[in-house]
Amino acid sequence: MVPMVDLKKQFQEIKGEVFHVLTEILESSKYILGTKVSEFEKKVANYHGVREAIGVASGTDALHLSIDALGIGEGDEVITTPFTFFATVEAILYTGALPVFVDIEPDTLNIDASQIEANVTKKTKAILPVHLFGCPSDMKKILNIAKKNGLKVIEDCAQSFGAEVNGKKVGSIGDAGCFSFYPSKNLGGYGDGGMIILNSIRVADTIRELRNHGSRGSYIHKRVGLNSRLDEIQAGILLVKLMRIDEYNRKRRQNAALYNNLLLDKVTCPIEKKDICHVYHQYTIISRKRDSIQQKLKKNGISSVIYYPVPLHLQKALKFLGYQKGDFPVAEKAAKEVLSLPMYPELEESVIEEIAEIIRSTV
Ligand SMILES: *Cc1c(COP(=O)(O)O)cnc(C)c1O
């Protein structure tokens, strides 16, 4: 079976370095908030050209703690997309704030910035764009609206480590950028992990306290926080992979270009607007024949996944928000037509050709 992502292959290539760093950490007996976490934080901050980076336990926590530390909570509204992973909205709800959905663009599948302003109310405190599948949202428009209305911008970069808008890395554009190091993400550890990047030293200090029981150590607690630390072992592994992230993303882009060449006349392929660098966390096609394509791929031993089959406004868990079918027609149509194909740096050209051939013979 051709998998969606082949972590085994990647591990074989970096095994020596991973074992080396693991041995170092295990022998140091410093497992929580030691030198690997701070080294990784510094390197990620430098990579993005920002002042601060804070390692946390997951991408979900990165979003939760950012929203919280920016002073958003009970009674506030956060504008976001209904076409994303559930965690984006969970994080908003954890803080007591309410998500307000805005439909997506049919081509990028990201939040349609031209519809944001009509949804700004007195309660709106932030815009939370998701750079879905590795494709940056329209940050120029989003920043303009935020500035005009005095809103914070929190970027969900869980799927887009290394992606760029106008040469600027996503996550460094808004007030905070939130990353996930879940194993299958573009930059993934061997367990859970996350990070927040930002320029405000004051907000960064708050997040550093929140991730560690509201304390900077020594059992003095300034606020009630939680236990959400990135651990040394994950940071060590991520340091090995961070050195290769540009190369990994370059190969993803190369694979996407080949898919595009072979599929463009048959299905709708992902697009890159002007000044955008997409990092293809997923390579997602759009087709009315999505279900038959998926069946045919399966028959031929090729994995494919529907990200996402139900937009968030129609999820049972979020029924209390009061949205209905028909509220976000573009997201609802996307849920019926998207299909993500195998995508990873080590994916071979011959396999992409085989996948494309199967799709071409189906549509
Ligand atoms: C993976 C993901 C998250 C959550 O990250 P975890 O590390 O799994 O908590 C949030 N938002 C998006 C868009 C994601 O893809």
Does 218 score more than 90 pLDDT? no
Q: What pLDDT, on the 0 to 100 scale, is given for residue 241?
A: 98
**Encoding tokens for residue 331?**
């997201």
Note the pLDDT tens digit of each residue in 311-324. 999 999 999 999 99
Q: What is the sign of the dihedral through the CA atoms of 248, 251, 255 and 256? A: positive
Q: Which residues pair with 198 in a beta bridge?
A: 52
Percent of the chain with pLDDT over 90: 99
CATH 2.60.120.40 fits 245-362, yes or no: no
- Distance (angstroms) between ligand 1 centre and the Cα of 320 equals 22
H or E element, residue 336: helix 329-337
In b/e form, how buried is each residue of 329-360, taking b as 16+ CB within 10 angstroms?
Answer: ebbbebbebbbbbbbbbbbeeeebeebbebbe
| Residues ≥6 apart with Cβ < 8 Å to 291 | none
* Beta carbon of 182 within 6 Å of any ligand 1 atom: yes
- DSSP codes of every residue in 104-170: B-TTT-SB-GGGTGGG--TTEEEEE-B-GGGPPP-HHHHHHHHHHHT-EEEEE-TT-TT-EETTEET
Separation of 219 CA from ligand 1 center, angstroms?
31
Pick the atom of ligand 1 nearest to 194's CA: 7
In short, whether 136's Cβ falls inside 6 Å of ligand 1 is: no
29-57 per-position pLDDT tens digit: 999 999 999 999 999 999 999 999 999 99
Provide mean pLDDT across the span 3-22: 97
- Please report how many Cα atoms fall inside a 13 Å half-sphere around the Cα of residue 58, on the Cβ side: 13
Query: CB of 282 closer than 6 A to ligand 1?
Result: no
Integer Cα distance of 325 and 332 in angstroms: 8
Q: Output the CA torsion sign for 319, 323, 328, 332.
A: positive
Atom 7 of ligand 1: nearest residue by CA position? 59
CB 182 within 8 A of CB 234: no
Confidence class of residue 217 from pLDDT cuts 50, 70 and 90? confident
Model confidence over 61-116: pLDDT tens digits?
999 999 999 999 999 999 999 999 999 999 999 999 999 999 999 999 999 999 99
184 φ, ψ to 5°? -85, 0
Residue 330's pLDDT is 98
Predicted confidence at residue 315, as pLDDT, reads 98
Q: What is the mean pLDDT of the chain?
A: 97
With a 6 A CB cut-off, is 84 part of the ligand 1 pocket? yes
- Pick from 128, 135, 182, 340 the residue to mutate for probing ligand 1's pocket: most ligand atoms within 8 Å of its CB: 182
- pLDDT tens digits along 286-319: 999 999 999 999 999 999 999 999 999 999 999 9
Q: What is the pLDDT of residues 123-162, one digit of tens each?
A: 999 999 999 999 999 999 999 999 999 999 999 999 999 9
User: Cβ(158) to ligand 1 under 6 A?
Assistant: yes
Minimum-distance ligand 1 atom for the alpha carbon of 181: 7
pTM above 0.85, yes or no: yes
Token pair, residue 281, equals: 């966390």
Ligand 1 atom index nearest CA of 60:
9
Contact, 276 vs 256, CB < 8 A? no
pLDDT for the residue 208: 97
CATH 3.90.1150.10 in the chain: give the residue spans. Answer: 245-362
Ligand 1 nearest atom to the CA of residue 182, by list position? 7
Please name the amino acid found at residue 98: L
Atom of ligand 1 nearest to the CA of 63: 10
Q: Got the DSSP string for 262-331?
A: HHTTTSBPP---TTEE---SSEEEE-TTHHHHHHHHHHTTB--B-S-SS-GGG-GGGGGG---TTSSHHH
Inter-residue contact 315 to 205 (CB < 8 Å): no
The CA 142 to ligand 1 mean position distance, Å, reads: 21
Q: Whose CA is nearest to atom 5 of ligand 1?
A: 59
Of 149, 152, 164, 158, nearest in space to 130 by CA: 158
Taking a C-beta distance cutoff of 8 angstroms, is the pair 135, 283 a contact?
no
Domain with CATH 3.40.640.10 in the chain: 7-102+111-242
Closest atom of ligand 1 to CA, residue 159: 15
pLDDT at 255 (0 to 100) = 98
For domain 7-102+111-242, give the fold: Aspartate Aminotransferase; domain 2 (3.40.640)
Q: What is the mean pLDDT of residues 320-337?
A: 98
Residue 59 beta carbon below 6 angstroms from any ligand 1 atom: yes
For atom 1 of ligand 1, which residue has the closest CA? 158
| Burial class of 147 by CB neighbour count within 10 A (0 to 12, 13 to 18, 19+) | exposed
The identity of residue 9, as a single letter, is K
